[in-house]
Amino acid sequence: MVSGVETLLLEVLPVFIIAATVGIFVAKVWELPYTIALLLAGLAVSILGVVTDLVTIDIRLSHDIIFLVLLPPLLFEGAATTDLAQFRRHFGPIIALSTVGLLISIGILGVLGQYAFGYPLLVSLLFAATVLPTDPVSVLALFDELGVPDRLAVVVEGESLLNDGVGVVVFTALLALVADGATATDLLSITGLGTLTLEMVFVSLGGALVGYVSGYAVYSVMRNLDEHMTEVVLTLILVYGSFLIAEHYLHVSGVIATVVAGLLIGNRGADEAMSPQTKISIFTSLATMAFLVNTFIFVIIGVTKPVDQLVTYADLILLAIPLVLLVRALAVYPVTALTNRLSMSSISTEYQHVIVWGGLHGSIPIALVLGLRPDLYPSLPVGELRAMVFGVAAFSLIVQGLTMPTLLDGLGVVTRSEAEEVYELLLGRARAVDAALAAAERLHKNSEIPTPMYEAFTAEYEREKEQLRTAIQTLLGAYLEVGTRNS
């Protein structure tokens, strides 16, 4: 008799490997963002019927598995690769969109969903909190390829990073109400709203504090280390440790703790506590973890036969897609208009159009809805919710993601010229030279390289640094827009 673990290894693992391979191949050959390629691979698995029914394999994706295993690496990697300086510069619109904008969207979709889907208000709000957090991976890959200004990319990425945290906090609070058998009347009462608001503020601020403290502790240790493998292990411990401490021991937001820890390590830690080799090792490890998690999520979609569910619940999905787009627009335009009036890093109308259409819904919504199980939440229409979330995610990744270049061209947002490409190459090389000089100085200070070698190395790289500085200044003098276009 074949055990559950043996069945998992014999049936699911080969599918996982095949889907990942197909996804990578499609991404490379068709030049697609890998999340879109993985989605297509997952759909192919479902259509071909490689695995007929996930239930017979007895894999139970509990809420804890989703939160403890899948979410932390996705959130940490996204935070660690965010430019904190640019994030701070555009913090006004980012925080407004990710908090006020998201809450407005959830509220509107929750109310409309009562009539569109026939759900009770609490269930409709839960669906909204599940589906509305955005995923920047696919659209940012296109942004980088097409030369979208850094300012727009940072706003889109920053909003997604924070609204993931806020969305998960709202999702968790609403799910707890559903599990307790609460009603919309309980939620909408003054006491209910007040309690919910205070709880969200407490868990959010508490999570941010845990993330900062745990991130700073690891950063402090890494400053005194120069062993890249040990620092990789410390980072991986921080990825899950910050989440566990916050969520299970202090009962605050593990999601926000992970995001804050990632921002600290990915920026201050990378600048002050990591050697070039350590940076490469850590960021490669984080990217690999995020890729594996994304692959797992989309393969699980495939083996759960979503095509059958898409057909069964096509009417609900066709209602959900335009509603999600509508409520995003109803939040983005008024919120950005308000931040513009307050002079919080003005966002142009063209940028607002891109932010609305670029709000892709991918890994986070799918991970959240996969954690809903009929046996744990019998009052929820889990099958319908999964199909609707997947349908919205599929539409946003495939249709919105693949039409983004056309939208950018039509709006005239793609602005990278040949001069800007040269400028970025020169700037990247200058940063690499600075990193090499810093590493050489550290090695010499620790007596790991002899003085003559250090002096020769330093002299050579100082000459290149001066040549790069001259070239950059010449380019900026000839093309004034290069230095200001992405500011």
Model pLDDT, residue 443:
77
Most confidently predicted of 36-50, 298-312, 432-446: 432-446
Higher-pLDDT residue of 432 and 335 is 335
- At residue 439, does pLDDT exceed 50? yes
Residue 184, pLDDT score = 65
- Arithmetic mean of pLDDT, 329-358: 88
pLDDT value, residue 25: 65
- In this prediction, residue 251 carries a pLDDT of 86
Average pLDDT taken over every residue of the chain: 80
Distance CA 271, CA 279 (A): 9
Question: For residue 352, what are the contacts with CB-CB under 8 A and spacing of at least 6?
Answer: 332, 333, 336
Q: What is the pLDDT of residues 253-312, one digit of tens each?
A: 888 899 899 999 999 888 888 887 788 888 888 888 888 887 777 666 666 556 777 788
Q: Which residue has the higher pLDDT, 485 or 101?
A: 101
What's the confidence (pLDDT) of residue 408? 85
- Report the pLDDT averaged over residues 337-342: 88
- The answer to whether residue 368 scores a pLDDT higher than 50 is yes
**What percentage of residues in the chain have a pLDDT greater than 90?**
21
- Residue 330's pLDDT is 94
pLDDT at residue 34, as a whole number = 67
Give mean pLDDT, residues 221-234: 87
